[in-house]
Amino acid sequence: MKGGIDFGKTASDYGRHRAGFPERFFDRLFEARWVKKNDRVLDLGTGTGAWLMDVAVAGFEDIETFSFDEAVSYAHEAWRGRIRASAGVAASLPSDAVAKFDTDLTQLLARDYPDDPILVPHRVWALVARSPEAA
């Protein structure tokens, strides 16, 4: 892939180092009875969230969102892998630039965040809506 982003380059780092959804997320879904055991669900990366307007225009009703912040513990090695997995690093930079970035990040973590593991804030966000066909 010339000049573009290739997420295939980041798949191993992403799969190994990305923290999954916190238990509180699933607790909230079950407590609200939006999901029950053995249901099938779809995980969407929402980016800016602008797609919510499309949800409303498509006729979805009873739209509800919720979010919460969660501090996720990452070992320095895991955080470096997580950052390498981002689009701006291993998916788009040549391997020598990725190695330099990783070296620089290793030094920054050792200097500015010497405690290992570190707590990294994450925002969990979800949308629940009733489809027009369910009405």
Preceding amide of 117 cis, omega within 30: yes
Cα dihedral 86/88/91/93 (nearest 10): -140
| Per-residue pLDDT at 123 | 80
Where residue 134 falls among pLDDT bands split at 50, 70, 90?
low
**Over the chain, what is the mean pLDDT?**
80
Give Cα 84 distance to the centre of its chain: 14
pLDDT tens digits along 79-130: 999 999 876 788 889 999 999 999 999 999 999 999 999 999 888 878 787 7
Q: What is the pLDDT of residues 26-55, one digit of tens each?
A: 788 788 887 777 776 665 665 555 566 666
**Residue 112 has what pLDDT?**
96
Kind and range of the H or E run holding 33:
none
pLDDT of 22 over the 70 cut: yes
Question: Rounded CA gap, 63 and 127, in Å?
Answer: 7
pLDDT at residue 43, as a whole number: 58
The CA-based dihedral angle spanning residues 101, 106, 107, 113, taken in that order and rounded to the nearest 10 degrees: 130
pLDDT score of 54 = 65
Flag whether the pTM goes above 0.85. no
